[in-house]
Structure 1
Amino acid sequence: MSISQTAPVSSGALWTGRVLSGLIILFMIFDGVIKLPPLDVVTQTMVPLGWPADVNVARLLGILGLISTALYALPRTSVLGAILLTGYLGGAIATNMRVGSPLFSHTLFGVYLGIILWGGLYLRDPRVRALIPFSR
């Protein structure tokens, strides 16, 4: 099925997708920006998760998250951004699982974000709807 054959999405679904994507973008901007300056609260929070209390590690994670988020926010590269953010969130899930964080509040938080991320993209992007067709 080509993109031109994809069933049109309603205005409400399109705006729901935009809002969901916007929430993910805002969250990920916050997550990335807070890791850029040398904040003790960021580096000290990383230690119980098995990461070194190193400003440069936090900064690198912040930059990777921000680049992936920027790609997700741009319509032309949104699918690539979603794939990269899925990997980023997968790392967060694995980290929380490895240290035995609570399942539903911490470990699966990345899964919840991933569902919102892909759901928003599915509703706003006909390329994704063509790739993953749900039949009625």
Structure 2
Amino acid sequence: MKATPLIWTGRVLSALFVLFMLGASIAPKFLMPEVATEASADAGVSASHVLLIGVLELIGTLLYIWRRTALTGAIVMTAILGGAIASHMNAGSPLYSHTLFGVWLGLVMWGGLWLRDTGIRAVLPLRTL
């Protein structure tokens, strides 16, 4: 199958999502636990849960990378992002920069998957009026 510009755009969006998750969210939870614990405390997340969240994010991200499990990974990551949104809502975080960041990240993740996977596009087609 020839990779079209649509598929390449999806791959780039997916790569940006994966790089962000690995670099800005997962790595700090494993490599700098005190920094991650402090940042998570502002959103009301217990210090004892930070490592577990990092493990779940890593599993979801790894599932998202492989084509056969990408849909499962996207579903897992959607659940995690939903939890982050709820945590920021409960903490009273700023709306656009913190609370809705999970929405923006989810749009990049699902957009990348939709663009790079013809099966997803077949199940979730864009409709014109």
Match of 1:22 in 2: 15
Deviation (angstroms), 1:13 = 1.1
Match of 2:93 in 1: 101
Q: Deviations over 1:30-79 (max 9, x none)?
A: 2112101453111111222112233xx21111110000000000000000
Paired with 1:47 and 1:135, the residues of 2 have a C-alpha distance of: 42
TM-score, normalization by structure 1 = 0.87
Q: Deviations over 1:89-113 (max 9, x none)?
A: 0000000011110001100000000
Match of 2:47 in 1: 53
Runs of 4+ displaced beyond 6 Å: none
Higher gyration radius (CA): 1
Structure 2, unpaired ranges of 5+: none
Coordinate RMSD, CA, aligned: 1.8
TM-score, normalization by structure 2 = 0.91
Instruction: Give the % identical residues.
Output: 47
Match of 1:62 in 2: 54
Match of 1:88 in 2: 80
Structure with greater proportional helix content: 2
Q: Which amino acid aligns with 1:28?
A: M
Equivalent of residue 79 in structure 1, options 71, 77, 80: 71
